[in-house]
Structure formats: C-alpha cells, structure tokens
Structure 1
Amino acid sequence: MDAFEQLVGEILRMKGFWVHTSVKVGLTKEEKRLIGRYSAPRWELDVVGYRGSDNVLQIVECKSYLDSIGVQAASFVEAELGHGGRYKLFNEKPVREVVCKRLVAQLVESGACAATPKVQLALACGKFKSNHDRQSVSEYFNKNGWELWDDTWLRDSLRSMANMGYQNQMSAVVAKLLLRGTLE
C-alpha cells in the first residue's frame, strides 16, 4: 500500500469512514465501450471511504508529489480544452460517471453501503507546483463541487490526530511525536 494513501485513509477513519485502498472497480464490456477503453483492466481507485451515518461514499485520488514538481493547474486546464491528460476521474466526465456508478452498484450489491449514497470526489495532494496552481485548482474544484485536500488540510488533520486519544497507527504516533509540545 502506498504510504500517502495509507495516511489519507487513516485521516478518513478518524472522521468516521470505513476505508479501503486500491479498490478495483469491475467494469462491464459495455461500460468499457462507453468510456472508450475496450480492453481496460479493472479501474483502480486509490482510497474509498464510506460513512454510514450520512450515507457518504468518498472517492479519493492521492498524489503526494512531495519530492517532485507538484500538482499543476495545467493538468486540469488542458483537459477542459479537450486534451485529456491526468486525473481521469476529474477530467473525463464519461469515465467519472461510469466508474462512480459501477462502484456504487458493486458496493450496494455486496452490502458494503446503503443504496443511493452521496458520492463525493476528492484529490489529496501534498504539494502544488506554485501558489497560482493551488489557487487555480482550488477554484476549478469548487466550481465542480469536488473536494481538494492539500498540504494545509493534511497538516490540520494531523494536528487533530495528535490531540486525540491513543491510536495504534503509524500516522497517529508520528503526529503525536512531532506536533505535541515537549517536556520543559
């Protein structure tokens, strides 16, 4: 399991979600045809969380990019202009609709969630190329009703985790060690 996906999953658990990572979505031949990927393997989602209290199904694409250039707004702008690119769930409406619909059917059929959950998409990212990219992507996500979980969201979530009771998870232990005050 990817460490960044694990961290995001642990934060979602802290917020009351049941969480799975690397979730495979089995598309039918017809669904593959609808998205123009006839020989595609099962679609894989980084993190999927479900919270039964409000019937929310959270789908999260994770990109840490901690030691690279970071998330770039151009990845979304190019897609709006019809140039495709990364972040297919966000940039390709047919893919998003088909994959989300199939995931819901798969989870409802297996009894993992109630019927007609509210599906929310989020991008969790550890770094942006620039403040301009952060602002542009944030505006794009707000316009589309998606959630953007950036480094600020991650730090705030880790601070909350550090102040909770003992949790036997790596992220919680590290958060407590790094973010709690030291003895004087």
Structure 2
Amino acid sequence: MDSFEQVIAEILWREGYWVRTSVKVELTKEEKRQIQLPSAPRWELDVVAYKAQQNSLLVVECKSYLDSPGVKMHGFDGSNEKAAGRFKLFNKSNVRDVVFNRLRTQLAEIGACSPSPSVTLCLACGRIASERDRSKLKEHFAEQGWQFWDEFWLRDRLKSMAAGGYENQVSAVVSKLLLRGRAE
C-alpha cells in the first residue's frame, strides 16, 4: 500500500467512513469480457470508504504525483490516450459500471455494506500541473458527479489533524510536527 493512500484512508476514517485500501474486486469471466479485458487480473481500487448512515461508498483513485508535473486535464478529456490509460475508471464508463456493480455485490455479500449502496468516484492528488488544469478538472468532475481532492483539500484536512488530539497514526503525527503552531 502506498503511503499517500494511507493518508487518504486516515482522513476518511476521521470523517466517519469505514475504510479499506487496496481493495480487490473479483470480476467474473463474463464481466471481464464485458469490459474487453478477458485475461485481466483482479481489479484493484486504491481506497474504498463506506458510510453506513448514508449507505454510500467512495471509490478513491490516489495519485500523489509529488515529484512530477502533476495531474493534467488531458488525462480526462480524450486528448492524450496514454494519460487517459492511467485513469480507466474515469474514462471508460463501461469499466466503471461493471467494476462498481461487482464491488457493490461483493461487499454486500460479505456483510460489509447494505445492499445497493451509492458509489461516488473520487480522485485524490497531491499535485496539479497548472491552475488552468485545476479549474478544468474541477469543472469536469462536477459535471460527472465525481469528487476532486487536490492538495488544498489535503492541506485543510491535515491542518485539522494537527489541531486535534493525539492519535498514533503516521499522518496525524507528521501533521502535528509540520503544521502545529502554523494552523490558523
């Protein structure tokens, strides 16, 4: 598991979600054929968070991109096929539908959620390439009904952790070390 995924999971836990990282979705042979990936291994989701009160799931794709130019709009608008390949759930509605339907079924069958939860796709990213990309990504995600969590979203939640009581979680400890005394 990636440490960025763990930070996102800890943030969601603090917000009242039951959280799992690196969730394997067991697609059937027929489902793999439906998404035109008949020999694909199990689909893996970075973070899945469940809020029982609302019977809702968040499926979070995590891209820290801390030492890169960052997430760009061309990964979502069809103008760059290679970049789009990194974001299959966002760019291939058939794949998204099949994976989410199997996830709902799989979690309900093991008692991890009530039947038929709503599912919201989210992108958590530590760096955006430009303000133009940020603006376009926010607009695109809002149009799709998805959630877009950038470094500002992350920083706000880490400040909240830093201001809170002691927790023996890496992200909470690091937040306190870096942000305590700086939080407004």
Residue 114 of structure 1: how far off its partner (Å): 0.8
Contact preservation (8 Å) 1:59, 1:119: yes
Aligned to 1:32: 32
> What is the DSSP-based 3-state SS (H/G/I as helix, E as strand, rest coil) of the residue aligned with 1:53?
helix
User: Taking structure 1 as reference, are residues 31 and 74 closer, same or farther at Cα in structure 2, changes over 3 Å only?
Assistant: same
Distance 2:89 2:79 in 1: 11
Work out whether 1:176 is the aligned partner of 2:176: yes
Residue 85 of structure 1: how far off its partner (Å): 2.6
TM-score by length of 2: 0.94
Letter in 2 for 1:19: V
Letter in 2 for 1:92: K
Greater shift after overlay, 61-70 or 47-56? 47-56
Which residues in structure 2 correspond to 1:105-124 (within 5 Å)? Answer: 105-124=105-124
Number of residue pairs matched by the alignment: 181
User: Taking structure 1 as reference, are residues 178 and 84 closer, same or farther at Cα in structure 2, changes over 3 Å only?
Assistant: closer
**CA-to-partner distance for each residue in 1:121-143, whole Å, 9 max, x for gaps?**
10000001111111111111000
Distance 1:9 1:136 in 2: 26
Contact preservation (8 Å) 2:72, 2:129: yes
Contact preservation (8 Å) 1:17, 1:49: yes
Letter in 2 for 1:120: T
Residue 80 of structure 1: how far off its partner (Å): 9.7
Contact preservation (8 Å) 2:74, 2:80: no
Distance 1:167 1:11 in 2: 12
Distance 2:79 2:87 in 1: 9
TM-score by length of 1: 0.94
Residue 79 of structure 1: how far off its partner (Å): 6.5
Ranges in structure 2 where 5+ consecutive residues have no aligned partner: none
> What is the DSSP-based 3-state SS (H/G/I as helix, E as strand, rest coil) of the residue aligned with 2:106?
helix
Distance 1:87 1:102 in 2: 19
**CA-to-partner distance for each residue in 1:35-68, whole Å, 9 max, x for gaps?**
0001000000000011112211110000000001
Letter in 2 for 1:109: E
Aligned to 1:163: 163
> What is the DSSP-based 3-state SS (H/G/I as helix, E as strand, rest coil) of the residue aligned with 1:40?
coil
Which residues in structure 2 correspond to 1:46-125 (within 5 Å)? Answer: 46-78=46-78, 85-125=85-125
Distance 2:31 2:132 in 1: 37
Contact preservation (8 Å) 1:17, 1:51: yes
Distance 1:129 1:99 in 2: 29
Ranges in structure 1 where 5+ consecutive residues have no aligned partner: none
Contact preservation (8 Å) 1:12, 1:19: yes
**CA-to-partner distance for each residue in 1:10-32, whole Å, 9 max, x for gaps?**
00001011111110000001101
Letter in 2 for 1:110: I
> What is the DSSP-based 3-state SS (H/G/I as helix, E as strand, rest coil) of the residue aligned with 1:119?
strand
Contact preservation (8 Å) 1:50, 1:56: yes
Residue 84 of structure 1: how far off its partner (Å): 5.2
Runs of 4+ deviating beyond 6 Å: none
